[in-house]
Amino acid sequence: DAGVTQSPTHLIKTRGQQVTLRCSPKSGHDTVSWYQQALGQGPQFIFQYYEEEERQRGNFPDRFSGHQFPNYSSELNVNALLLGDSALYLCASSLEGSGSVNEQYFGPGTRLTVT
Amino acid sequence: QKEVEQNSGPLSVPEGAIASLNCTYSDRGSQSFFWYRQYSGKSPELIMFIYSNGDKEDGRFTAQLNKASQYVSLLIRDSQPSDSATYLCVVIPYGGSQGNLIFGKGTKLSVKP
């Protein structure tokens, strides 16, 4: 049973470019959340996708957008990259309405470096 | 702005000692509280959750919650070098949901052999 997977593992981009990060949730999960973790900080919630729609959004600009596909996988897109976007991007999946405690599984992350 | 505050450490304890990690949160309506462990370069993993005031024990770990004081703590008994990691205090604020987690900056724990 595969856990949460993310690709790519590492990425280097230049200021002003656009980037797409990908996430496949744990088998059986239908909800995907994205977090940004800057060095030395805790993860910050970007947004959450459920039923192919953005359900909640954190305090991030519109340059950050996403998508969820019918197979529950998700993409995070960042436009007009800034140096400050350099961070570890974490994807987490869970099962909506599972009735259990928050069993949110994190993927290994994508390390984005903007130069 | 809903916040979760933790001492960044590092907290250094000898092997076999009790490590005490503390956290305060600003949203008085918060109902769900979690501790995640994050090894360097790895993703966070859930180790404890607590919803009610009081203590909750799971093996060597005890989570403590005091909603009146807006305070959460994690005790690690018989600390091992493998417990060396950053511990993240996490809260679901009032009106939030699974997935919309508010993380503290984390406390780095170092257990010395």
Residue of chain B with shortest Cα separation from A91 = B43
Query: Chain A residues with CB-CB distance to B under 8 A?
Result: 31-33, 35, 40-45, 48, 55-56, 58, 90, 92, 94, 96, 101-104, 106-109
Better-predicted residue by pLDDT, A107 or A1: A107
**Residues A2-37 pLDDT 10s:** 799 999 999 999 999 999 999 999 998 999 999 999
Per-residue pLDDT band at A110 (split at 50, 70, 90)? very high
In chain A, what's the furthest Cα-to-Cα distance?
44
Report the pLDDT value the prediction gives residue B31, as an integer from 0 to 100.
84
Q: Is B32 within 8 Å of A102 when comparing Cβ atoms?
A: yes
Residues in a beta bridge with A20: A77
Name, in order, each residue with C-beta under 8 angstroms of B12's C-beta and a sequence gap of 6 or more.
B109, B110, B111, B112
* Residues 31 through 50 of chain B touching chain A, CB cutoff 8 Å: 32, 34, 42-46, 49
- B26-44 average pLDDT score: 91
User: B32: which chain A residues are within 8 Å (Cβ-Cβ)?
Assistant: 102
Among B27-31, B32-36, B51-55, the least confident range: B27-31
Among A65-69, A87-91, A104-108, the least confident range: A104-108
Q: CA neighbours within 13 Å on the CB side: how many for B93?
A: 15
Give CA separation, B36 vs A61, A85, A105, B59, in Å.
27, 24, 11, 15
**Residues B50-103 pLDDT 10s:** 999 999 999 999 999 999 999 999 999 999 999 999 999 999 887 766 667 889
User: A56: which chain B residues are within 8 Å (Cβ-Cβ)?
Assistant: 96-97, 99-100
Report the pLDDT value the prediction gives residue B1, as an integer from 0 to 100.
67
Q: Is B46 within 8 Å of A102 when comparing Cβ atoms?
A: yes
User: B56: which chain A residues are within 8 Å (Cβ-Cβ)?
Assistant: none
Q: CA neighbours within 13 Å on the CB side: how many for A35?
A: 25
